[in-house]
Structure 1
Amino acid sequence: MTPHVSFTEQLLAPVAAWIIAVISAVGYGGVALLMAIESACIPLPSEIIMPFAGYLVSIGRFNLFAVATAGAIGCNLGSIVAYEVGKRGGRPFVERFGKYVLLNLHDLDRAEAFFARFGSITVLVCRLLPLVRSFIAFPAGVARMNLVRFHLYTFIGSWPWCFALAWVGMKLGAAWRTDPRLGHILHYGDAVVVLALAAAFVWFVLHQRKKRRA
């Protein structure tokens, strides 16, 4: 009898397989590479990358602290791209290409206001937050933030994020092998997760379009 495959598993399986292949082949360098891609504003979420790395920690392939460090280094490397684009492209870049990444001048104005009010610490705080963490390097470049401080805050803010996600993956990996109930719980929650993600994405797109028309 063919085992039932949920929609979420079908959706994530190719991405998950590629991530696992990269990490397995390149090791810690693969973790850094994937996190660099995410921090360069390319939609490859760290919420998938680091838990898979944490799973490899659970089977003894990696060390948890080393995985978090590799992920944070990758964030720094990828952020160079977004920083330089912001520094060299600035507002004209947002006006011309922002619509392709759901970024508009209102978002840039808000980010610049944060920088004006709170200074460079904005980068550190935003690196601890979902979604905005991969975007914050762009306005940092527009603001021409000091590079040494930028990379220092990027690393300090990214390391706890990478550690937390890898720790979750490590714990889930261990529990998955020892307690089959976890698999059943996650299976029943598939539909809820997919609907929630879809609703959040649709709301975000519509909200951005509404702001752009205004």
Structure 2
Amino acid sequence: MIRELAADLVDLIFEWGYLGIFLLMTIESSFIPFPSEIVLIPAGYLASNGDMDIGMIMLSALSGSMSGAFVNYYLALLLGRKILRKYGKYFFINGDSLQKMDIYFQKHGHISTFIGRLVPGIRQLISIPAGLARMNLAVFSTYTALGASIWAFILVMLGYFIGENQELIDSYLKQITIAVLIVLVLLASWYIYYQKTKRIE
């Protein structure tokens, strides 16, 4: 039901061209759950037919992803602490927890943001703790853009090379998601090992 409604929305927005991709990716990257694959895979297919340009699709997708991420970041930055100071006790969050989060994101915010942008279900939310922790905006932007670009490119290429074969797309998307998660686990493991050896030195 939700996928059908989302598909209808995509059909409507795609009439707006690259602006439609930008708007949908802004929604997808903000606090509103919206699967990016139903936007970028069809866009890749349209590019394979010559109806859209891959470069413009990527630019629109990345711009939208960044806009949505900034919405979450600034909402958390401007309102998050006020809300947590008032209601945080109900979620076992106190001043010490916020201080620990600040310290963590100062040291490891870049890798956390990059990995988070590539994990389904987390990519929209990783901007919130980054904003709460007042993560450096330039670092946040760089690693958000890097992670968002990789994921967008994967989806656009799926649509470009596989087209309308939904069964094959679902199969490949599942395999790619698993492969990406394995790579991220390896990356996180290497990072933890690197940090430990760095402390020893």
- 1:18 maps to amino acid: L
Q: Could you tell me which residue of structure 2 aligns to residue 16 of structure 1?
A: 7
Q: What does the per-residue CA deviation read over 1:125-175, in whole Å, with 9 as the maximum and x for residues that have no partner?
A: 21122111110111110011122222222111111100101111222216x
Query: Which residues in structure 2 correspond to 1:1-214 (within 5 Å)?
Result: 12-23=3-14, 25-93=15-83, 115=105, 117-173=107-163, 176=165
Q: How many residues align?
A: 166
C-alpha displacement of 1:76: 0.7
Root-mean-square deviation over aligned CA pairs: 3.1
Q: What does the per-residue CA deviation read over 1:91-120, in whole Å, with 9 as the maximum and x for residues that have no partner?
A: 55368899xxxxx667x9797685255233
Secondary structure of the 1:69 match is helix
- 2:116 maps to amino acid: C
Q: Could you tell me which residue of structure 2 aligns to residue 196 of structure 1?
A: none
- 2:62 maps to amino acid: A
Secondary structure of the 1:144 match is coil
- 1:81 maps to amino acid: V
Question: What's the TM-score, normalizing by structure 2?
Answer: 0.69
User: Which is further off, 109-118 or 74-83?
Assistant: 109-118
- 1:61 maps to amino acid: D
Gaps in structure 2 of 5+ consecutive residues: 175-201
Secondary structure of the 2:150 match is helix
C-alpha displacement of 1:90: 2.0
Gaps in structure 1 of 5+ consecutive residues: 1-9, 99-103, 177-181, 194-214
